[in-house]
Amino acid sequence: MIRSSLRFAPAALLVALILSATLVVAQQQVPPAPVASQAPAAPSPAAAPTFPKPDPAHFTATFPSKDQINAFLQASWGYDDTRTWQVQAILKTPVEGISKVIVLVGDKTGKQKPAALQFLALADGKHIIADNEILPFGEHPFAENRAILQQRADGPYRGSALKDLELVEFADFQCPHCKEAQATMEKLAVDFPKARIVFQSYPLPQHAAARNAAAYGACVAKLGGNDAFFAFAATVFDGQDGLATPDGATLTLNSAVTKAGLDPAKVSACASTPAINDGIDASIKLAQDLNINQTPMLVVNGRMVPIGGSVYETVKKVIDYQVKQDGLAK
């Protein structure tokens, strides 16, 4: 569900990790290699796909180049050493400066069918359009988002005060998959002790208690500091079912405030102030400016990594790769 908690199937998660948003990947069967005879043969081990040779007639646009596309895909896919691809076409379109790119994608283990990924490359050299989404492009496609977050991500954080490795979690206190993702976030805090891990509130409009919970959280951080906030957040997520009704939400939030060592009356008064609500609006605007349309979403130095229902080892592998790409020590 768009702008809501979303559980990815493994294949969809892979695509989302690649390009920062869910792309439409049309399955196309790559023609098989010719066989020596028609006689039945014993099953052979799965192998990497054999892509058809690209037709030079399908390279009518001069931008982007094959090298630029391959650098972009390496930045996006390099964490997966089983992934293989081939640029199949770079075509002019009726619109000057916009090219259509087709890439054949395969799995070296042979366990997945090859697929065709198509996108439009824009004239600015920094963006592509895929599945009606405008996404970053280039050899360093996440650099712009990284700079935006270093400047504007101002939520409570744990870990390093430095922003060299910044993991920004956009979450909604009433989102079920955000609750599930907290186990992932706890593991990441252990595995990446040099990271700055930021909680950025993104309350969704369909969750009636989410905005007030975000306001309470902002006030807990303001009055009690980062440690108090994360204690509050853990308690709210644990008691998330209580947010389903107005009375239950009040009890749940007050209980979480008390457990964080603060006075519920003071936090409640703080939560209704214009400054706190302006801060929440700014956090929502940040998510929207980054084109984040689901929670939970982890942004690793500008790279979108959906973590709702994801496999922890896959998430960790992506972060390890991004750390290497950015020339950082883990």
**Band of pLDDT at residue 310, cut at 50, 70 and 90:** confident
**Band of pLDDT at residue 114, cut at 50, 70 and 90:** confident
Whether the per-residue pLDDT at 221 is higher than 70: the answer is yes
What does DSSP assign to residue 295?
A: B
Distance of CA 248 to CAs 57, 82, 254, 277, Å? Answer: 65, 48, 10, 22
> Cα–Cα distance between 72 and 183 in angstroms, integer?
31
Structure-model confidence comparison of residues 175 and 26, the more confident one: 175
Which residues contact residue 56 at a Cβ distance below 8 angstroms, ignoring those fewer than 6 apart? none
The DSSP line for 267-293 is HHHHHTSHHHHHHHHHHHHHHHHTT--
Whether the per-residue pLDDT at 252 is higher than 70: the answer is yes
> Cα–Cα distance between 257 and 45 in angstroms, integer?
58
Query: What digits encode the pLDDT tens for the residues 68-113?
Result: 999 999 999 999 999 999 999 999 999 999 999 999 999 998 888 8
What residue type is assigned to position 89 of the chain?
A
User: Among 106-110, 193-197, 233-237, 316-320, which stretch is predicted with the lowest mean pLDDT?
Assistant: 106-110
> Cα–Cα distance between 268 and 279 in angstroms, integer?
16
pTM of the model: 0.84
What does DSSP assign to residue 241?
A: G
**Band of pLDDT at residue 27, cut at 50, 70 and 90:** very low
Whether the per-residue pLDDT at 11 is higher than 90: the answer is no
Beta bridge partners of 135: 128
**Band of pLDDT at residue 194, cut at 50, 70 and 90:** very high
**Where in the chain are the domains?**
22-139, 144-325
Instruction: Identify the pLDDT of residue 46.
Output: 63
Structure-model confidence comparison of residues 109 and 322, the more confident one: 322
Burial class (CB in 10 A: 0-12, 13-18, 19+), 295: buried
CA atoms within 13 A on the CB side of 29: 3
Instruction: Identify the pLDDT of residue 113.
Output: 85
State the chain's mean pLDDT as an integer: 87
Instruction: Identify the pLDDT of residue 35.
Output: 33
Instruction: Identify the pLDDT of residue 40.
Output: 46
Whether the per-residue pLDDT at 10 is higher than 60: the answer is no
**Band of pLDDT at residue 186, cut at 50, 70 and 90:** very high
Domain 144-325 has CATH 3.40.30.10: yes
> Cα–Cα distance between 91 and 60 in angstroms, integer?
5
> Cα–Cα distance between 306 and 308 in angstroms, integer?
6
> Cα–Cα distance between 310 and 66 in angstroms, integer?
32
Structure-model confidence comparison of residues 19 and 146, the more confident one: 146
For the chain, what's the residue count? 330
Whether the per-residue pLDDT at 62 is higher than 60: the answer is yes
Burial class (CB in 10 A: 0-12, 13-18, 19+), 212: buried
Q: Which residues of 215-233 are buried (b: 16+ CB within 10 A; e: fewer)?
A: bbbbbbbbbbebebbbbbb
Whether the per-residue pLDDT at 296 is higher than 60: the answer is yes
Within 10 Å of residue 131's Cβ, how many Cβ atoms? 14
